[in-house]
Structure 1
Amino acid sequence: MNGRSHKFDLNVDESCCEELLSALLHTLFFHRSTGRFEYSGENNYSIGSVGFEDVDCQLLDLTYVRSNCSELHAKIQREIANFHQQLIKPINRDYGGQLHLEFYEKRRPRWPLRMEENIAWEIWTFQLNLVDVFDREKFFQQLSSTIIEKILLISEAITSTEYAPKIPVLSDLNLIFDTSFTNLQPYLHRIHSTFNNDTSKPVRQVMSRMFSDAFPM
């Protein structure tokens, strides 16, 4: 299975980084999670439902949907907060950084002494560039529209073509899904970050009042 990659490039104000990433990551996890599996035998199963809730952003003018799993909320928030803390450090803030979300499956080794392999089948990368904002109201309005477009693109990309791993038999469940949460099962995933502080040209830019080039796609 070849992993599919998606990348979004976003110019953001420091104050809205965490809110923006929360909307995007929760949208992805909502689509890439199922209710918990209940097996009766190796191949027979039923799937529970995934509860959801609407979240109104404080700075951005948008509402997004997320699962109602508090454990997942806490995990996502920790990852976002860690990324944000690194992004605003002087060594990183002029060059931006990427937050990566990878969904993967485990492959059992074919030989006794080999390790399990983690094979990524979907990768989402969010490139965030910090910018200086003069007109915050106009900036947040424009950014809100951009994030709504990204959320729609995420939903369309996930639902238009199904290329997630097949539902496993009971003995393979932990090779496909993360079963550590109480009331849902996201696909196995990894969140990590990279930063561009070794790049020769910084991407940080001063925003004009007209925002003519504020949101490159």
Structure 2
Amino acid sequence: MEFTLDLSVDRENLEDALKALISTILFYRTFGAIVPGTRDFLETPYPVIDNEEIEKEISERVGYVLNKLDHDPMSSSTTPFGSPGGSNSTNPYANITFDDDNAHQQIKEENARFAQLSIKFYDRKRVKRPSWFGKLEEDVQWETWLINVTLVPQQGKDQDQRQQFYNQLNGQVENLIFEISNKVDSHKDHIPVITSAELMPFGYTIQLVGNQGWTGFIKKLLE
């Protein structure tokens, strides 16, 4: 099962916006006994797991993404899937449209950046026929969340424009949090049988899609 979220955000709010979305996804995919909590993105509350280790992992992965966007010239006005608005059916940015002919050129000049994050969940299964190397178990992916990020130019000093932008951003993230909640509530049949009382019985990865230099961080609690 795969779900996609689209986020347009400026650099100043990128870190907090990603933390809000990732924390919400992990909250709904935690099946053990938890201490729930809340955080705020601008004026929008979102659920979190009150667990220091999980919060640290989220901060580390988001920090990695920020570093890549700040220093990787490949994450500029084109994407690994082509230009924004392209007709390529595999392009997650194909839904990005421009109001006029100059908008696409403007976004290039202002060095807009794009990225795609994935959060994948795995279930550890016993291998029916062990390999020559004696492998008895394998991780089977059962759910993927893709976050398509469009990093828009930093807002200017005009207070009215900044307030309008932040109101729109706040509403966007609020809608995405509700969207996550609705998706997990509507799609439950694909969740594997839970056989562990661990806080997070399923392994997961949080990674930047298309970056061959980083294989991703995998958290495995099923030993």
TM-score for both structures, normalised by structure 1: 0.70
Q: CA deviation at 1:74?
A: 0.3
Aligned-partner Cα distance in 1 for 2:71–2:162: 22
The answer to whether the aligner puts 1:51 opposite 2:35 as a matched pair is: yes
**Contact 1:29/1:186 (8 A) holds in 2:** no
Question: Given that residues 31 and 201 in structure 2 are in contact (C-alpha distance below 8 angstroms), is that contact kept between their aligned partners in structure 1?
Answer: yes
**CA deviation string 1:35-83 (max 9, x = no partner):** 2xxxxxxxxxxxxx311112123xx221111011111000111001101
Q: Which structure 1 residue ranges, 5 or more long, are not aligned?
A: 36-48, 197-217
Tell me whether 1:71 sits opposite 2:53 in the alignment. yes
Q: Is the 8 A contact 1:28 1:154 kept in 2?
A: yes
Q: How far apart are the structure 2 equivalents of 1:127 and 1:79? A: 15
The one-letter code sitting in structure 2 at the alignment partner of 1:15 is E
Task: State the distance in 1 between where 2:43 and 2:162 align.
Answer: 12
Question: Where do residues 143-154 of structure 1 align in structure 2 (5 Å cutoff)?
Answer: 143-154=169-180
3-state SS of 1:33 partner: coil
Cα distance per residue 1:90-113 (max 9 Å; x no partner): 511434111100011122222232
CA distance in 1, matches of 2:130, 2:57: 34
Amino acid paired to 1:109: V
Report if the CA contact (8 A) 1:10-1:126 is conserved. Answer: yes
Which residue, out of 108, 116, 128, partners 2:149? 128
Partners of 1:112 and 1:54 lie apart in 2 by: 44
Larger relative contact order (Cα-Cα within 8 Å, sequence gap ≥ 6): 1
- Choose from 164, 167, 171 the match for 2:191: 164
1:57-136 correspondence runs (5 A) = 57=41, 60-91=42-73, 92-95=75-78, 96-113=114-131, 115=135, 116-132=137-153, 133-134=155-156, 135-136=161-162
Higher mean C-alpha displacement, 112-121 vs 144-153: 112-121
Is structure 2 residue 168 aligned with structure 1 residue 142? yes
1:148 is matched by which residue type in structure 2?
A: E
Separation in 1, partners of 2:39, 2:144: 25
Cα distance, 1:34 vs structure 2: 2.2
Displacement, 1:157? 0.9
The amino acid of 2:27's aligned partner reads F
1:9 corresponds to which residue?
6
Where structure 2 has 5 or more consecutive residues not aligned to the other structure, the ranges are 79-113, 212-223
- Mapped contact 1:93–1:130 kept (Cα < 8 A): no
Identity rate, percent: 27
Q: Secondary structure at the match of 1:88?
A: helix
1:20-39 deviation line (CA, Å, top 9, x unaligned): 0111111111110022xxxx
**Residues 30, 195 of structure 1: CA spacing in aligned structure 2 closer, same or farther, 3 A cutoff?**
same
User: In the aligned structure 1, how far is the partner of 2:179 from the partner of 2:6?
Assistant: 13
Amino acid at match of 2:45: T
CA 1:186 to 1:21, structure 2 compared with 1: closer, same or farther past 3 Å? farther
